[in-house]
Amino acid sequence: MLIPFIKMQAQGNDFIILDGFAWAAKGLNYSDFAIEACAFHTGIGADGLVLMLPSENADGQMLIYNSNGSQAEMCGSALRCVAYLLHNKLNKRELAIQTDSGLLAATVSPEGIVTVNLGMPKIIHKAFSALGFSGDLVDIGNLHFIIWQNDLDSDPHLLHGARLENYQGFPQAVNVHFAKLLSPTEVQIKIWERGCGATLACGTGAVSTVFSARQRELVESSVQVNMPGGAVQIEALETGYLLRGEVAFSFSGDYHWRI
């Protein structure tokens, strides 16, 4: 079976996208497909598999599978990629996209910059202790553990991310971010994503980090978040947190999948 796919990335956070408007895989086990196709050395290679589907109540629907086959509730980078594809498909700049975290709004600028409103994050536990670290546990449709440090040069996400992701004291597995304050308008993060491992970017993680910083009165309402794969802009509004940044088409093709 040949499965048509689109490969896109946002600040290096990369995805295999299946266009459900053009093609439907009946009986395809998406979890198994994600594990095989997302493998970097033997498959296409990606942080996750994204299904872009028609919706009766929105411009489209997004479903996400991590590279380990588990399903994810939300991904800000993937949402921006889907918004860009829907913009091209529907010729609309303002879009409503159904996700497992609710109906979310997206806008595509004439220059191709994609902005999504991820809603208002929630602090589940401030200064929560886990495995010798103190961090903020934030819910933005998925869970993020934000640890503030003065130095990220030792790559603490690689040293501690896997253990923290599955720490039994959390209600479920989490995304882990080690963050450094650069100024009231700029922060840096290094990322360990649940079900993926170390990634170059994380949209919901960028938003959660700024939300954590604002709870600690460290930053202003508009903040640049620098990640290993690039930067995004986060804007805190009363109606929710905006995530803004570029996305890019990588390539497309057909993947030979076992029947």
- 138 in the same domain as 112: no
List, in sequence order, every residue forming a beta bridge with 11; answer none if it has no partner. none
The CATH number covering residue 150 comes to: 3.10.310.10
- Pick from 131, 68, 67, 140: which is nearest to 100 by CA? 140
Q: At residue 258, does pLDDT exceed 80?
A: no
- The count of domains in the chain is 2
Q: At residue 27, does pLDDT exceed 90?
A: no
What amino acid positions are annotated as catalytic residues? Answer: 75, 202
Confidence (pTM): 0.96
Residue 160 included in any domain: yes
What is the band of 1 on the pLDDT scale with cuts at 50, 70, 90? confident
Burial of 256 (0-12, 13-18, 19+ CB in 10 A): exposed
Beta strands in 114-213 (DSSP E): 114-117, 122-130, 133-139, 143-148, 175-183, 186-193, 197-199
- 72 in the same domain as 148: no
What is the band of 259 on the pLDDT scale with cuts at 50, 70, 90? low
Q: At residue 26, does pLDDT exceed 90?
A: no
Per the CB < 8 A criterion, the answer to whether 198 and 12 are in contact is no
pLDDT digits (tens, 9 = 90+) for 28-85: 999 999 999 999 999 999 999 999 999 999 999 999 999 999 999 999 999 999 999 9
What is the band of 23 on the pLDDT scale with cuts at 50, 70, 90? confident
Residue 258 included in any domain: no
Q: Count of CB atoms within 10 A of residue 112's CB?
A: 12
- 106 in the same domain as 129: no
What range defines the domain where residue 86 resides? 2-118+246-250
Residue 257 included in any domain: no
- Pick from 128, 135, 155: which is nearest to 205 by CA? 135
